């Protein structure tokens, strides 16, 4: 290090000095202005501690760049660590309040939303700020920016023996004072203290003698005099002495965007959330090219001309609603969308009354691998959620609470990692009891009772083992359904030629007895049968060459509709589901362009499509929901939508789920309430209650 250069950065002047180090204005080799913070010599530690510090700061760079100042570089020169960050021409919240006085109305709300979004992004990257205070909030022209996140933790990790406690006393949490364990809830406490300062001009526990301040943080209630009534309860919960009683940053952000709090107390439109988040998107840089490639910045495709019966559609969104929706939709393809939007928050935050969607807790980390499917199954006394995963394990969860109940895996294996992974899992419910059949690569299938988690006797062991989708005995398991109210497994012999008819055999799932002798689904006149799949109780979907679908009733062994040609605009569908609407059987097909097209299976008439997804629909479900036929869809941008199949209109605003690419969705009723569940590529599970009266 020289007097004028650190690493590859030319120092141009001193911006300030604090307890950690000296902050310089600098330029990189391209002439771009940056900020270089050089730590004091006494904080540098030995070479090992310096390396640890550099690694800690590199981890900070995972933080999404919403409402934060980017960390660009970190290094050590002449034994002194330095940090390089984005230069933002702005004053701190500390200086602004000291000069202009407290923030009120929409200005306070904008500040709260922006800083809570930043905190959610920081926590989403598994980083803890540990020194959230007014001095570390910059009031930039495009919204507040949070700085120095995680730096305190990096210092603490590298130099614990020399630095003591890390943080600023007036904004410390109780756990920062009493012990070393200060996680994300500590940041929420400090955030609330910072917001109290912004609203009143003083910290919540005073700023006099350190002993008095410390006593206040540990034992006294926060002083919230002067805090607007709309914020008092929220700030008070964040300042709870017990970390477990505080909301998470994402829950906090959800509350700030919810209901009356999203309108300023001076009667205006409160924080202009559409503009705020639009600005956040505009300055966000995707962390890798793949994220950029999936960002939905193209317009939604125009729907084809409807050829079926017309349906009423909802009114066009107002300009403000469209702006907000566009801004939020732009977040979908980015890795840290869940950090910017409260997980489960409607994408168009003002489009639906806030009570329409109610998140049920936060995201449930169901697995380290992708959740492939989610089902809502009845058990004695209630229901249970079943998830299947890329690791081949089935997992059971309590609805609403998200509490893990058990895994469907053999108890004789020492750990889940040593258990054999299922190649496929089939589910059926009959007589109020749910069963799961797991199929494996090199061992017999296993049958599980969902209510108890017990492994049952599997009736098909003697048929041979499961290998690449076929039984060695020459049969392929199609799936499970109900036949005359009984749980039934359908098999088909492995055909030698696609021109041959498909022969179906049905066997009772519990005892293996044949309940339907072999019967053929004949080859169509001009098309070979490509596949057969279970589509519902006693319903089969027969796939023919040329993207033709024909539904069959398994009980009568006859077609229940005509053949539907699903190829549209040169594209084949990605997902199929059947729904009963006004006594008719409707086929819904999802396409890569985000469109869901619908046909009446009786006469191949096409109904107007369901449009709104901006990327490929990756999950689709249909069934009764809140007293009417409905469909639920999810896409690669983590957006979930609910549709009323009677009207063909969107039902409620789209949801930014925060679970990554949506792999599976399901709807049902839990405790008399309509509940929607989504599962994602990230391994997360998410639930919402729906109040249809609020629409």
Side-chain half-sphere CA neighbours of 484 within 13 A: 9
Query: In the prediction, which pLDDT does 601 show?
Result: 86
Contact 388, 433 (CB under 8 A): no
CA distances from 179 to 175, 186, 215, 393 (A): 6, 12, 15, 39
Contact 343, 117 (CB under 8 A): no
Q: What span, in angstroms and rounded, lies between the C-alpha atoms of 621 and 640? A: 11
Query: In the prediction, which pLDDT does 421 show?
Result: 58
Nearest-CA neighbor of 385 among 359, 676, 395, 435? 395
3-state DSSP assignment of residue 566: coil
Query: What Rg value do the Cα atoms of the chain yield, rounded?
Result: 29
Instruction: Report domain extents, the chain.
Output: 1-285
Nearest-CA neighbor of 271 among 139, 116, 141, 112? 112
Q: What span, in angstroms and rounded, lies between the C-alpha atoms of 668 and 375? A: 10
3-state DSSP assignment of residue 268: coil
Q: What span, in angstroms and rounded, lies between the C-alpha atoms of 131 and 133? A: 6
Contact 41, 20 (CB under 8 A): no
3-state DSSP assignment of residue 228: coil
Burial of 394: CB neighbours in 10 Å, binned 0-12, 13-18, 19+ = buried
Nearest-CA neighbor of 599 among 635, 624, 573? 573
3-state DSSP assignment of residue 47: helix
Mapping DSSP onto H, E and C, the string for 435-452 reads EEEEECCCCCCEEEECCC
Mapping DSSP onto H, E and C, the string for 209-224 reads CHHHHHHHHHHCCCCC
Query: In the prediction, which pLDDT does 156 show?
Result: 45
Query: In the prediction, which pLDDT does 167 show?
Result: 60
Q: Give first-to-last CA distance, the chain, whole Å.
A: 63
CATH architecture assigned to 1-285:
Orthogonal Bundle (1.10)
Nearest-CA neighbor of 385 among 655, 676, 622? 676
Q: What span, in angstroms and rounded, lies between the C-alpha atoms of 24 and 16? A: 7
Distance of alpha carbon 187 from the chain centroid: 22
Among residues 46, 131, 272, 600, the one annotated as catalytic is 131
279 catalytic residue (yes or no):
no
Burial of 327: CB neighbours in 10 Å, binned 0-12, 13-18, 19+ = buried
pLDDT beneath 70: ranges in the chain: 1-3, 18-20, 40-67, 149-167, 179-181, 258-355, 410-424, 440-444, 460-475, 493-500, 523-531, 693-695
Q: What span, in angstroms and rounded, lies between the C-alpha atoms of 114 and 276? A: 8
Q: What span, in angstroms and rounded, lies between the C-alpha atoms of 469 and 439? A: 9
Query: In the prediction, which pLDDT does 181 show?
Result: 66
Query: In the prediction, which pLDDT does 467 show?
Result: 40
Contact 676, 688 (CB under 8 A): yes
Query: In the prediction, which pLDDT does 102 show?
Result: 94
Provide the residue count of the chain: 695
Contact 256, 109 (CB under 8 A): yes
Q: What span, in angstroms and rounded, lies between the C-alpha atoms of 519 and 666? A: 32
- pLDDT tens track for 529-573: 666 777 777 787 777 777 888 888 888 888 887 888 888 877 888
Q: Which residues contact 343 (CB under 8 A, 6 or more apart)?
A: 250, 254, 359, 362, 363, 656, 657, 658, 659, 686
What does the buried/exposed string (b/e) look like for 176-189 if buried means 16 or more CB atoms within 10 Å of the residue's CB? bbeeeebebbbbbb
């Amino acid at each position: 290090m020289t007097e004028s250069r650190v690493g590859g950065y030319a120092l141009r002047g001193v911006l300030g000095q604090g307890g950690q180090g000296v902050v310089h204005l600098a330029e990189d080799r391209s002439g771009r202005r940056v900020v270089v913070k050089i730590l004091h010599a006494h904080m540098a530690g030995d070479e090992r501690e310096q390396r640890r510090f550099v690694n800690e700061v590199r981890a900070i760079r995972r933080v999404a760049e919403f409402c934060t100042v980017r960390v660009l570089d970190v290094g050590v020169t002449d034994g002194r660590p330095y940090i390089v960050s984005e230069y933002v021409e702005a004053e701190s919240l500390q200086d602004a309040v000291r000069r202009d006085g407290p923030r009120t109305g929409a200005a306070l709300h904008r500040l709260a939303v922006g800083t809570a979004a930043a905190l959610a992004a920081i926590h989403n990257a598994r980083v803890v700020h540990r020194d959230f205070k007014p001095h570390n909030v910059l009031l930039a022209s495009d919204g507040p920016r949070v700085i120095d996140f995680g730096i305190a933790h990096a210092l603490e990790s590298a130099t614990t023996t020399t630095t003591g406690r890390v943080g600023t006393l007036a904004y410390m949490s109780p756990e920062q004072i009493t012990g070393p364990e200060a996680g994300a809830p500590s940041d929420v406490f400090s955030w609330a203290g910072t917001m109290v300062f912004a609203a009143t001009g003083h910290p919540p526990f005073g700023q006099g003698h350190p002993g008095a301040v410390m006593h206040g943080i540990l034992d006294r209630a926060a002083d919230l005099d002067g805090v607007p009534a709309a914020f008092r309860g929220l700030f008070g919960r964040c300042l709870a002495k017990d970390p477990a009683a505080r909301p998470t940053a994402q829950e906090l952000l959800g509350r700030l965007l919810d209901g009356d709090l999203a309108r300023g107390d001076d009667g205006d439109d409160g924080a202009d959330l559409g503009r705020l988040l639009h600005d956040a998107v505009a300055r966000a840089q995707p962390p890798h090219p793949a994220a950029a490639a999936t960002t939905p910045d193209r317009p939604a495709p125009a729907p084809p001309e409807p050829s079926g019966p017309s349906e009423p559609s909802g009114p066009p969104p107002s300009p403000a609603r469209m702006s907000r929706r566009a801004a939020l939709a732009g977040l979908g393809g980015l890795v840290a969308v869940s950090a910017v939007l409260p997980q489960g928050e409607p994408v168009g935050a003002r489009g639906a009354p806030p009570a329409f969607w109610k998140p049920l807790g936060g995201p449930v980390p169901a697995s380290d691998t992708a959740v492939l499917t989610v089902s809502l199954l009845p058990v004695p006394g209630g229901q249970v959620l079943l998830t299947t995963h890329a690791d081949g394990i089935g997992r059971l969860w309590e609805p609403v609470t998200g509490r893990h109940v058990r895994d469907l895996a053999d108890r004789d294996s020492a750990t889940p990692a040593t258990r054999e992974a299922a190649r496929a899992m089939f589910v059926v419910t009959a007589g109020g009891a749910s069963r799961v059949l797991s199929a494996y690569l090199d061992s017999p299938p296993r049958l599980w009772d969902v209510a108890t988690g017990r492994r049952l006797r599997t009736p098909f062991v003697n048929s041979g083992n499961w290998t690449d989708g076929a039984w060695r005995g020459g049969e392929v398991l199609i799936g499970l359904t109900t036949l005359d109210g009984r749980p039934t497994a359908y098999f088909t012999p492995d055909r030698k030629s696609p021109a041959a008819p498909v022969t179906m055999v049905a066997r009772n799932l519990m005892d293996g007895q044949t309940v339907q002798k072999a019967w053929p689904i004949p080859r169509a006149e001009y098309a070979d049968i490509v596949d057969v799949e279970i589509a519902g109780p006693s319903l089969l979907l027969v796939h023919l060459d040329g993207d033709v679908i024909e539904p069959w009733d398994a009980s009568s062994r006859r077609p229940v509709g005509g053949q539907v040609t699903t190829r549209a605009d040169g594209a084949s569908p990605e997902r199929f589901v059947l729904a009963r609407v006004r006594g008719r059987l409707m086929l819904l097909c999802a396409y890569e362009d985000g469109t869901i097209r619908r046909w009446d299976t009786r006469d191949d008439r096409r109904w107007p499509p369901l449009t709104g997804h901006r990327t490929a629909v990756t999950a689709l479900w249909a069934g009764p929901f809140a007293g009417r036929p409905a469909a639920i869809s999810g896409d690669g941008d983590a957006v979930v939508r609910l549709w009323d199949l009677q009207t063909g209109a969107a039902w409620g605003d789209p949801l930014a789920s925060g679970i990554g690419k949506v792999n599976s969705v399901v709807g049902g009723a839990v405790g008399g309430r309509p509940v929607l569940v989504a599962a994602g590529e990230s391994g997360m599970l998410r639930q919402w209650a729906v109040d249809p009266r609020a629409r």
